[in-house]
Structure 1
Amino acid sequence: MAKKTQENFAGPLDPADWQQFRAQGHRMLDDMIDYLQGIRQRPVWQPIPDSARAAFRSGMPAQGSELAEVHQQFMDHILPHTVGNVHPGFFGWVHGGGTPVGMLAEMLAAGLNANCGGRDHIPIELERQMVRWMAELFEFPPHASGLFATGSSMANMIAVLAARYRALGREVRTHGVPPKRQLVAYASAGAHGCIAQAMDLAGLGSANLRKIPVNAQFQMDVMALETAITADRQAGLQPFLITGTAGTVDVGAIDQLPLLAAIAERNRLWFHVDGAYGALAALSPPLRPLLEGIELADSIACDFHKWGQVPYDAGFILMRDGAAHLDTFASRDTYLRRDTRGMAANSPWPCDFGPDLSRGFRALKTWFTFQVFGAQRIGQVIHETCLLAQYLEERVAAQAELELLAPVALNIVCFRYRASDAFNAALIVRLQESGIAAPSATTIQGQLAIRVAIVNHRTGQQDIDALLDAVLKLGTSDLEPA
């Protein structure tokens, strides 16, 4: 019976012909290298035709197809219609451009198929090395801990949960927040929306995040912050967290981190820094002084897939107190048995520092990026994007038709054509549809802005010129409302 059953098995999913598979794999790799090498000859973004969308409306296939056929579908319908952040003319959001090195590292990680939630294997050691490197970069103590995550949205949530644990103790993990101990947190009005979302997901309520007004430099108003803390205490609430931002999502402002750290210490609050992209400015000696005070934080969130140019996704959280971080998440389920020898050795594991047990090998592409390029070169790229932002700022100031809407702190420039919001909205859409450049829209002090985030290592002065030339040309045309 056993022999007959085995005869009915379909067999493994490995190729029947390894040489044919190898040749097809090389063609696929060559296509992606050609894509990156020739990216300037492509539009940044282009509208998706109905024919491309229709290719993804069929049902689940019962039978498989040849790999070459599926690859051709990718080339025809997927590759031409991505958001375009690998292109040097992409300025829409703070998306990194990735690198060919990172692409190859991602392939290696996929081949290993390592689950980096736990067990005793070298991928865990590599992630621990990245944690040590980040601790050194931000001058955290040797007992600091860290964890790769999908992005700063998850990293910020991990920080909120750690701060909640310190405020309420171990019972919060089993019994939740006590009815008469309402926790409140504080962040800039310019902070990313994921901070409020983290309060929601942590069971604390997004309404209990106090959004503090900003000053003329778009930094959190520290006097308003202290007033809010005092008012909440007098109302019987429990302040527990201040989140400073290093690189706000709209304009790239950096909060006054030393002042926030002092207020947090004086009030015994957790001090977290959302440095989703701005924290990595620490890699650039000219920019490092802008982050003064970040070394005082209890936790820092950042994304290597932004300024670090690592392929998506590669978020990260760094914690000053590794023991508190461990206490926030660790559990001792029987199926996660630990030992001193064998594959169950060498704990605590990454799954003890966050909510994910199944975790990809994100650390490998980040490690490859640092190993191949070095911290100095990555820092230089970061600084160069800021120099390009200054160049754009100067060009905008020199054009009577254009108006700068916010100070340029790092690499984000917000300006507008001197016309209505509807005109500027239509102009942005036309820019995107042109394929020349892809900025995004935001609102600055009630006015719609053309927001240019310069993140890609491929972007040069010629790309800034192409953007401005297109803005000025479109500004003289009749634009339909977006």
Structure 2
Amino acid sequence: MKSNNNLEDINGLDPENWEEMRELGHQMIDDMISFLKNIHLEPSWKEIPKDTKAYFKEDLPVEPQNSKKVYQDFKRYILPYHKGNIHPRFFAWVQGSGTLMGAYSEMLAAVMNPNVTIGEHAAMYVDEQVVKWCKQMLNYPNSSSGILLSGGSMANITGLTVARNAHSNLIREHGIQKNSKKLVVYCSEETHSCITKAAEIIGIGNKFVRKIKTNSEYEMDCDKLLEQLLLDIKEGLQPFCIVATTGTVNTGAIDPLEDIYNICKKYNLWLHIDGAYGALAKLDPNIAPKLKYIELADSVAFDLHKWLHVPYELGCLLVKDADTHRSTFAITPNYLLQTGRGLAGGLDAINNYGFELSRSFKALKVWMSLKETGIKKHAQLISKNNEQAKYLESKILKSNELEILAPVTMSIVCFRYFNKKLSMEKINKLNEEIIIQLQEKGIASPSSTILNDKYCIRVCIVNHKTKKEDLDFLISGVIQLGSEILKNNF
């Protein structure tokens, strides 16, 4: 690059022709509306061609490129090869499908471009209001604190950090080595891997994450939990937290919250709930009774980019004891001093409740989406997904070729194509191939898991666009592919 001695002559990054950019913006919106409107007519997933992958090996651009050409490249090389979670037959991981209003709000937030952790500006008040709404969704105490984060993983690690520091007010200053006893956290063997990662990062270590066996329903076995807890106490260790899951990623199982809560109360342990997937099922009247004890937990982590369908990414952590939450993270250097008036006035800085000091205007997409739809409609859509899972289960139970492999608690269904003449190894290979071909042919996009050594077709229904005919199409595809693969390969 050549140096420029007249740097003052260089224009900023605003468009040279505002009207051309206005026209391009209108075109983008028109194209994206058509794209979303007709997404159900497209394959659920497309394989990325080699020439497209080669395109992404280009070096760093040095000179400007035409804005329209940049957008055309997006439409040619990126948009056709989306992940698919915006498609009604995406049944893989627990991933929401977004909304058009959510997309619009992302644009508005990007135009404002505020850092929403400090300062006296409207975005701080929107953030505070959205956290309040999150409490109301779960009937969590109004006096509690909360923070919006990138997702369940960050919400869980933030929650466990608060739990660790609540165990001893010396930890923040002296670290966990100040404790004479090793800290121990408990969860089920079905708990999300982010809990283990969190324990490693905050200094507990994965050897002191006790993964408790589950019962036949894939729920934490509280007898085994208590047995391990008492053994650890006897050996001089220091239990401090139990993580209960409301909707495991494998099967959607809900841990026995009342029993776990009672154990926590008896032994003075912190109850943290990983509700990344299932906490918002509390809005479904059929599931809500199982999730009542969320209201009594010391902290709860959950995602809004799953069943609330706001665009990625957005999770939330709620903590019952707001003072303990704040004392875990609050620090005020001279350059972050708050004043009673002016730009440095206003609400308590959000970075006093988490690690991040730089953060986007995450709350706007929730604020606009909930104002557009109301929480009642979201509750109905969650109930609809759970009913669709029961519908899918009924179709599988009526089929001679298919077999249910786990109880259907919420909106996850685990099953397989089955032939009693084949060995376990061959049945597993058969189902793996069925899943791959379902995806490659664009029929549907389920994921896989393994339960009791059985390879499962795992269908997770958290899509507001999914209809029963999409599930019928999936089942037809599984049976047809299973028969064809069986005939040609086994």
Q: TM-score if structure 2 supplies the norm length? A: 0.95
**Partner amino acid for 2:417?**
Y
Q: Secondary structure at the match of 2:155?
A: helix
Please give the alpha-carbon distance, in whole angstroms, between the structure 1 residues aligned to 2:59 and 2:21: 26
Instruction: Kindly indicate whether residue 439 of structure 2 is the aligned counterpart of residue 432 of structure 1.
Output: yes
Structure 1: any 5+ residue segments left out of the alignment? none
- Label 1:90 to 1:173 Cα distance change in 2 as closer, same or farther (>3 A): farther
Aligned: 1:470 with 2:449: no
Alignment of 1:36-435 (within 5 A): 36-178=36-178, 180-419=180-419, 420-435=427-442
Which secondary structure state, in structure 2, belongs to the residue aligned with residue 439 of structure 1? strand
User: 8 Å contact 1:282–1:288 — kept in the other structure?
Assistant: yes
Q: 2: CA distance between counterparts of 1:378 and 1:169?
A: 40
Counterpart CA distance in 2 for 1:478 and 1:460 is: 27
Secondary structure of 1:231's match? helix
Q: Which blocks of at least 5 consecutive residues in structure 2 are unaligned?
A: 420-426
Please report how far the alpha carbon of residue 180 of structure 1 lies from its aligned counterpart in structure 2 after TM superposition: 2.4
* In the alignment, structure 1 residue 451 sits paired with structure 2 residue 458: yes
Name 2:423's counterpart in structure 1: none
Distance 1:345 1:177, change over 3 A: farther
Distance in 1 (alpha carbons) for counterparts of 2:170 and 2:362 = 30
Task: Give the superposition deviation at 1:53.
Answer: 0.4
Partner Cα distance (1:395, 1:32) in 2: 35
The verdict on how the C-alpha distance between 1:7 and 1:310 changes in structure 2, with shifts beyond 3 A counting, is closer
- Whether the aligned pair in 1 keeps the contact of 2:388 and 2:411 (CA below 8 Å) is yes
Query: 3-state SS of the aligned residue for 2:273?
Result: strand
Please give the secondary structure, in 1, of the residue aligned with 2:177: coil
Tell me how far apart the structure 1 counterparts of residues 434 and 97 of structure 2 sit (CA, whole Å).
24
Partner SS state of residue 78, structure 2: helix
The change in CA–CA distance for 1:319 and 1:390 in structure 2 (over 3 A counts) is: same
Structure 1: distance between partners of 2:156 and 2:380: 27
3-state SS, counterpart of residue 346 of structure 1: coil
CA contact (8 A) 1:144 1:319 kept: yes
SS at match of 2:434: helix
Contact 2:189 2:213 in 1 (8 A): yes
Tell me if the contact between 1:258 and 1:296 (Cα under 8 Å) persists in the aligned partners. no
How far off its partner does 1:118 sit?
1.2
Compare 164-173 and 250-259 and name the one that shifted more: 164-173
Query: Could you tell me which residue of structure 1 aligns to residue 422 of structure 2?
Result: none
Percent of residue pairs identical: 40
Q: CA deviation at 1:6?
A: 6.4
Tell me if structure 1 keeps the 8 A contact 2:181–2:237. yes
Tell whether the 8 Å contact from 1:52 to 1:77 is kept in structure 2 after alignment.
Answer: yes
The 8 Å contact of residues 171 and 178 in structure 2, kept in 1 or not, is answered as: no
CA distance in structure 1 between the aligned counterparts of 2:116 and 2:386, rounded to whole angstroms: 35
What amino acid is aligned across from residue 370 of structure 1 in structure 2? L
Task: Give the C-alpha shift of residue 142 in structure 1.
Answer: 2.6
Secondary structure at 1:449's aligned position in 2? strand
Change (3 A) 1:170 1:359: farther
The alignment partner of 1:244 has SS state of strand
**Contact (CA 8 Å) 2:137, 2:280: kept in 1 or not?**
no
Once residues 277 and 10 of structure 2 are traced to their aligned partners in structure 1, the CA distance between those partners, rounded to angstroms, is: 48
CA distance in 2, matches of 1:356, 1:392: 42
Residue equivalent to 1:12? 12
One-letter amino acid of the counterpart of residue 287, structure 2:
L
- Displacement of 1:174 in angstroms is 4.4
Q: In structure 1, what is the Cα distance between the partners aligned to 2:91 and 2:209?
A: 30
CA contact (8 A) 2:138 2:280 kept: no
Shift of 1:345: 1.3
Q: Is the 1:284–1:376 Cα contact (8 Å) retained in structure 2? A: no
- Mapped contact 2:124–2:347 kept (Cα < 8 A): no
Query: How far did 1:178 drift?
Result: 2.3
Equivalent-residue separation in structure 2 for 1:220 and 1:37 (angstroms): 42
- In structure 2, the CA distance between the partners of 1:368 and 1:442, relative to structure 1 (3 Å rule), is same
* Conserved? CA contact 1:338–1:347, under 8 Å: no
Contact 1:247 1:254 survives alignment (8 Å): yes
**In structure 1, the residue corresponding to 2:484 is in which secondary structure?**
coil
- The Cα shift of 1:5 comes to 7.1
How far residue 354 of structure 1 moved from its aligned partner, in angstroms, is 0.5
Native 8 Å contact 1:96 1:305 kept in 2: yes
Alignment TM-score, normalising by the size of structure 1: 0.97
Residues 355 and 7 of structure 1: CA distance in aligned 2, closer, same or farther (over 3 Å): closer
CA distance in 2, matches of 1:45, 1:278: 26
The residue type paired with residue 428 of structure 1 is: I
Once residues 129 and 198 of structure 2 are traced to their aligned partners in structure 1, the CA distance between those partners, rounded to angstroms, is 28
| SS of the residue 1:107 aligns to | helix
Deviations 1:283-313 (A, max 9, x none): 2333322212111100110100001111100
Residue 346 of structure 1 deviates from its aligned partner by: 2.3
SS in 2 for 1:475: helix
Q: Any idea what the Cα deviations from partners look like across 1:301-356, whole Å, max 9, x if unmatched?
A: 01000011111001111111111100010101111111111111124211110110
- Give the stretch that moved more between structures: 40-49 or 461-470: 40-49
Distance 2:367 2:442 in 1: 33
* Aligned CA-pair RMSD: 1.5
Question: What is the CA deviation profile of residues 69-88 of structure 1, one whole-angstrom value per residue up to 9, with x for unaligned ones?
Answer: 01011100101112100000
Instruction: Work out the CA distance in 2 between the residues paired with 1:431 and 1:173.
Output: 54
The code of the aligned residue for 1:446 comes to D
Partner Cα separation in structure 1 for residue 227 and residue 291 of structure 2: 25
Partner of 1:478, secondary structure, is: helix
Aligned partner letter, 1:291: L
Q: Determine if contact 2:183/2:204 at 8 Å carries over to the other structure.
A: yes
After superposition, the C-alpha distances for 1:175-202 in whole angstroms (9 at most, x for unaligned) are 3432622100000111000000000110
Paired residue secondary structure (1:57) = coil
Deviation at 1:7, TM superposition (A): 6.4
Q: Secondary structure at the match of 2:178?
A: coil
